[in-house]
A and B are shown apart, each in its own frame.
Chain A
């Protein structure tokens, strides 16, 4: 305990020192834009960065130094346009997301940091470039295999989110539009412990998952449970959940900021080759953990008393209550578990991509597609549906540009609703 107190005090002291440091260094003579370009942890030397005003008037053009740093001082605060010349980057590298223009705002007497996340130009991530190359049949199948693998990776993350959503829907009838924010919350909590408190990512993730579970419990205890007690209808709760989503999303943005971040650990792992696919070890570990969690939750649903009670409640709450099941307790457990695995999904998503306050909102669409495909309210349907959606949209990037791959999810959604609205494993009477 005492050691913890000492460590914490030292940490706080360090934090104050860190925050105070740059302010002392140059209080007023920094007003402009700066940044550091790194590719897989290595500084990028000689990349061209040009800064123009919002209207397009050129301000300055600089190249990054041996530390990858660049710095442009400006006279007037305001909005500027920063363009990174992709041609000046090392070969086989690119700006993540493909957008090489940033429009930051410079405030009086302050330097804004401009982020360009760089990544290796993997053939698998960029099928549209891969096509132009050899184009042989073998490369097509290699790509397809790689994309299928990535699809499973994404599908498992979707499945974690979908399982929680589906369990909560099954037991309470609530289509929770705020589930995406539970995912973001998990990722951001882990980020806070990882980067803010300097913990290694694994303990940080464990704490974040536990904390998110506790928050899920609290959310049901203090909010959704109270609404149910008042007799609020499920449609009303669904609309309220959109309000909750907006509230949480903007609170997260308030604390986290609008930028994109990554965890400090496991950022740059060399891929290992497994037959036709290359994968970073972190992805394999992540998939193993996700699969283990899904299996454990599935077994718990099938075998344990609480699991059986949960299935009974989702079948018929009134009947479950009359046969001696404490419905409120079951729902609370489901909320705790659902929020915890949503947090895990967020951490895994942050690990394989990056963190942003809209990450949960963006994946919620895929989760809905997975849940609908599998059958709303069925736990195992959610699993199957999510995997199918994940693989489908990743493999579809063979033909459609990656930025539009989510469109595929909507196509899936609409086709399912047209031909089999109850989903793969759903039952007819649920669709109404």
Chain B
């Protein structure tokens, strides 16, 4: 058993790129689900269009990095409008169904042979993060304490990522304190009452969907920038589901809930995965092969999610009265 590797990869995960990517996705979900009560099950779609928007603009159209980011953001806004217009006036189930369907459809389009020239098929697109790392102020080398070190590229990505994440938290904090945020929370509690007060509920919901999608799409950018590539199958329903698990774990409708949730989630996820792999490799679990560690790890997340929702739906920091899961 290589306990040191297990320990260092676990600590890496707590502040690493996974936490940044999924933390941002979860902040978006928190705006949708935690504050507004919208069940957007297609957060992965926002991340996918952002990642691909950046990748395709830079690699296929040969345009600068910042235009790529702008294209990604615009794509997320358009996607939110497309999904929101038919569903936001209907009951919650319909938004859930359409968003989960849209996310699958977008994945299918990105991996299709038909559009291989644009999106690169199932191999995706790579080679679009050069400009981002060209801005890196850190000289090359290794930074860290003891066994926990990052190279200069990862450190640069994490610096930017955590700054964006904290800015997103600040934005959520300020917005939710404002009158606009109070209307969102009121919609979560009782939509009809808000409508009776003369507010345009549809417009507020749409603004929330767009905002959460835009915050989430930064997760897609950072995914692409860290891995240097975007592949369609990364943006499956599991990604959205992880974001939901993180939000509920940390506590819905809490500013720092998603951030703390993401850290805890990835620590547990990486730790369990490493532990199982090591146990299997050393023959402690004879009935499993190393390929089977992947699915069992996901299955455990599913189980943990169910137990969390049944036993403690408010998560670690949440308030039970602020969870939009018992409405109607």
Contact = CB atoms under 8 A, between A and B. Distances in A.
Interface of A: 98-99, 107, 175, 177, 227, 230, 232-236, 238-240, 242-251, 253-254, 257-258, 361-362, 365, 368-369, 372, 376, 401, 403-404, 406-407, 409-410, 413-414, 417-418, 421, 431-432
Interface in B91-124: 91-94, 96-98, 100-102, 104-105, 108-109, 112-114, 122
Classify the interface of chain A: helix, strand, loop or mixed. Answer: helix
A106 B237 CA distance: 29
Nearest to A369: B101
30 contacts: A99-B122, A177-B41, A232-B326, A236-B309, A239-B39, A240-B309, A242-B305, A243-B245, A243-B302, A243-B305, A248-B302, A250-B295, A250-B298, A251-B299, A254-B299, A361-B237, A362-B104, A368-B100, A401-B113, A403-B108, A403-B113, A404-B112, A407-B108, A410-B102, A413-B98, A417-B98, A418-B86, A421-B90, A431-B91, A432-B90
B309 A376 contact: no
Nearest to A362: B104
Contact of A244 (B87, B102, B298, B306): B306
Contacts of A242: 41, 237, 241, 244, 305
Interface in B273-298: 290-292, 295-296, 298
B327 interface: yes
B101 A368 contact: yes
B313 interface: yes
A236 B313 contact: yes
Given A239-B309, A365-B104, A233 B90 contact: no
Nearest to A418: B86
Contact of B109 (A404, A421, A432): A404
Interface string B54-86: 000000000000000000000000000000011
Given A175-B97, A243-B302, A246-B302, A403 B112 contact: yes
Contacts of B328: 233-235, 432
Contacts of A413: 97-98, 101
B324 interface: yes
Contacts of A98: 113
B313 A410 contact: no
A88 B113 CA distance: 21
Contacts of A368: 97, 100-101
Contacts of B101: 365, 368-369, 409-410, 413
Contacts of B245: 243
A254 B296 contact: yes
Contacts of B97: 175, 368, 372, 413
A404 B295 contact: no
B272 to A, nearest CB: 13
The 4 closest A-B pairs by CB, nearest first: A247-B302, A432-B91, A246-B302, A233-B326
A238 B295 contact: no
A247 B102 CA distance: 22
Contacts of B295: 250-251, 253-254
Given A401-B113, A413-B98, A431-B94, A406 B108 contact: yes
